[in-house]
Structure 1
Amino acid sequence: MKVNFYTSQREYHEKKNEFDSAIQNIIEKGNFILGEQVSKFEKEIQEYTGAKYAIGVASGTDALIIASDILGFKDGKEVITSPFTFLASASCITRHKGKPVFVDIDEETFGIDVSKIEEKINEDTVGILPIHLFDQMAEMDKIMDLAKRYNLKVLEDAAEAFGMRWKGNGNCYSHSGTIGDFGVYSFFPTKTLGGYGDGGMIVTNDDNLARLAKSFRVHGATQKYHYDFIGYNSRLDTIQAAILSVKLKYIDEAIKKRQKIAQMYMERLADCEYIKLPIAKGDQKQVFYVFNILAEDRDGLAEYLKKNEVGYSIYYPMPLHLQKSFEYLGYKKGDFPIAERVSQKIIALPIYPEMTMEEVEFVCKTIKEFYRK
């Protein structure tokens, strides 16, 4: 049996008429740049997440870059974040000549170890960039407390966390991205809410930050051909907005399907002594964007999965502090031992709403066969 790590075709064929109609409508009207579907989708995101403002941009990476610029994560100022993440979570700081300051991760959640943040704060620190990674939101209560005490800005990298909610110390759940000064989402095709191309979103509850984000995405214009800032050309494509609006209608159903698959993985693999299953900390609602395990002989398992036509991915094979692009920061091997250790064992199994129970069974069976060899 062949099991793809991800496929978009099943979802497309299930809702083909809706997708085709949404795309055709835009082509016929010819309103391709910041068309009415973008405004409609932004309002839908506001309603779903509870954010006061939502500003569509061209990608999750652009969302991080623009938000970092506005928040002052630049010109030698320091921003505390995790080394165990995608490049964009830190490159958005370095692009503006800011300095990422890494702290190690929690071995069970793979997210930033909040207990290690305060010791890194100094007079040059201007912000914290927590990453809601995989299926776990960062401990936002503690992060926001630190931000308040030290007058720091918080940019939530929720690129992988659309749909995640955190209760913390409050009486209700807060959607990822809506707790800090800015939050960002990515609509890369594999995401929980993914388009048929690139796309991103900036969310905020601050009137002035929203005004700046709307300006920065169109070259810094405050009105046509009037520029108060040097901004960016980064606008959510109208066709992608229309596709995402269709998908958003079914997002809760899709998350439930992901949760069912994740539960099945946990039940079927619970007795395998060579792997460690994911653990969630805190009162939160998971979406299972990916399903990671820590595996003994990870590379051997990966090769066996490939041989048996089971898709997988490795998020991430090398922490950022060991990447050549960040050599200038002066970190060395051993500085963040947990991130380094996790990167040698982590592997992501297939998980998407259209995956069948037979496929999940086959993945589990294949993993167990490898360790019985």
Structure 2
Amino acid sequence: MILPAPPSPIQLLDLATEHAAMQPALDEALREVMTTAAFIQGPAVGQFAAELGEYLGGASVIPCANGTDALTLALMSLHLPAGAEVIVPAFTYVATLEAAALLGLRPVLVDVRPDTFNVDPAAVEAAITPRTGAIIVVHLFGQCADLEALRAISVRHGVALIEDNAQAIGATFQFANGETAFAGTVGEVGTTSFFPSKNLGAMGDGGALLTRDAARAVLLRQLTNHGQSQKYHHQHIGLNSRLDTLQAALLRVKLRHLPAATAARQAVAARYDAALAAVPGVVVPARDPRSSHVFHQYTLQITEAGSRDELQHFLKRCGVPTMIYYPLPVHAQPAYAYLGYRAGQFPVAEWLCGAVLSLPIHPLLTAEQQEYIVGLFGQL
């Protein structure tokens, strides 16, 4: 069989080309930081925090070193006792569990919904015990989890809600009462990551915490900086977790391009939907009508057992990169064997790990490239 060749090189993510379009502004941002030499806690850090907060509807934004630190700091701000339980989805990146485990808290896994991939609120409620200290909800792949139900569970049981918003910056959720809120701004604390591959990505590591609670914002600022508000006066045990000025300056530039980049991702997803919705054995991403979707990933389910890997290998041979997020459920990771979970306890998460496949999606993916990609699905 003669394999087709792509019309132009296809990348899972094309950061170099994206950056080239804004290069003069990026260069100027770097030059300003180099001139002032305020590399730690320089003015760009506060400016970026204020601008992102405005973008997110007036939330307080507390920058930090990375997304995993953000999760750790969010939990630290709750002052939970050792051994308290933290409910987390069984289908997620390991950092969601890692933050809790590092603090001596106990991750309690619950299954996810097979359509949206997000945590199942019924499973969350069933997992609540007197030892539950927090619920961490992950807005996976760019779409909000069911914040209506999760916020109600949080309030009903007096348990803090933390939103892991590393993949859904800018997504919104509409509640039954007509209220619309940005992902990451509904619970006690939201977290996000500026890892370079994120929709709003730095050129290195970075993260932030989000909150609408002014007192918690003060506490979180202290916790990111050795527990101090004034140098050498430490009110709390904290971390050294600061977003450096260079990254903040670059993120200020990229934030201005985020709305257009999000719209471009949504257009790419719509084209994929139209072309792939009727392909046998393929399930396109479901949409919760209450949530916008910013498409950090465009993730299919390949429903015929064993055919996902065959499809991935075929696409690779044809010049189409793909990724599997995530190939091994977190309860099967050796590091978390101590939690005592067994195969079969989280059937949806386990199914998804064997069925999901993420296609290239970024703002510069052309319609011609997409036509080539979807055309390959009929050639297996």
Deviations 1:57-112 (A, max 9, x none): 01111100111111135510011110100111111111111011111110001110
CA contact (8 A) 2:299 2:359 kept: yes
The CA deviation at 1:136 is 2.0
- For normalisation by structure 1, the TM-score amounts to 0.97
**Counterpart among 341, 351, 357 of residue 341 in structure 1:** 351
- 1:13-24 matched pairs, under 5 angstroms: 13-24=20-31
Cα distance in 2, alignment partners of residues 186 and 361 from structure 1: 32
**Corresponding position: 1:360 with 2:367:** no
Cα distance in 2, alignment partners of residues 156 and 118 from structure 1: 16
Residue 54 of structure 1 aligns to a residue in which SS? strand
1:258 is matched with 265
**Counterpart among 218, 223, 226 of residue 216 in structure 1:** 223
**Corresponding position: 1:30 with 2:37:** yes
**Corresponding position: 1:298 with 2:305:** no
Unaligned runs of 5+ in 1: none
Deviation beyond 2 Å, 4+ runs, structure 1: none
Deviations 1:328-362 (A, max 9, x none): 00001000011001110101001011111111111
The CA deviation at 1:185 is 1.0
Deviations 1:152-194 (A, max 9, x none): 1111001111010000223232000100000011111111111
CA contact (8 A) 1:173 1:284 kept: no
2:167 is matched with 160
1:314 is matched with 324
The CA deviation at 1:51 is 3.9
CA contact (8 A) 2:331 2:337 kept: yes
The CA deviation at 1:113 is 0.6
Q: How many residues align?
A: 370
Deviations 1:129-162 (A, max 9, x none): 1110013211111111111111111110011110
The CA deviation at 1:229 is 1.5
Unaligned runs of 5+ in 2: 1-5
- 1:76-225 matched pairs, under 5 angstroms: 76-225=83-232
The CA deviation at 1:282 is 3.7
**Corresponding position: 1:242 with 2:226:** no
Cα distance in 2, alignment partners of residues 48 and 21 from structure 1: 22
Which amino acid letter does the alignment assign opposite residue 366 of structure 2? T
CA contact (8 A) 1:73 1:93 kept: no
Cα distance in 2, alignment partners of residues 23 and 63 from structure 1: 25
Residue 55 of structure 1 aligns to a residue in which SS? strand
Cα distance in 2, alignment partners of residues 222 and 281 from structure 1: 41
Which amino acid letter does the alignment assign opposite residue 370 of structure 2? V
Greater displacement, 48-57 / 31-40: 48-57
Cα distance in 1, alignment partners of residues 30 and 230 from structure 2: 28
- For normalisation by structure 2, the TM-score amounts to 0.95
CA contact (8 A) 1:73 1:96 kept: no
CA contact (8 A) 2:330 2:336 kept: yes
CA contact (8 A) 2:142 2:169 kept: no
Residue 357 of structure 2 aligns to a residue in which SS? strand
Cα distance in 2, alignment partners of residues 209 and 52 from structure 1: 12
RMSD: 1.1
Cα distance in 2, alignment partners of residues 16 and 361 from structure 1: 29
Which amino acid letter does the alignment assign opposite residue 181 of structure 1? E
2:3 is matched with none
Cα distance in 2, alignment partners of residues 84 and 280 from structure 1: 18
Cα distance in 1, alignment partners of residues 78 and 357 from structure 2: 34
Q: Residues 74, 194 of structure 1: CA spacing in aligned structure 2 closer, same or farther, 3 A cutoff?
A: farther
1:323 is matched with 333
Deviations 1:291-348 (A, max 9, x none): 0001131111111111112111110001111111110000010000110011101010
Cα distance in 2, alignment partners of residues 140 and 313 from structure 1: 28
Cα distance in 1, alignment partners of residues 23 and 154 from structure 2: 46
Cα distance in 2, alignment partners of residues 175 and 368 from structure 1: 38
Residue 261 of structure 1 aligns to a residue in which SS? helix
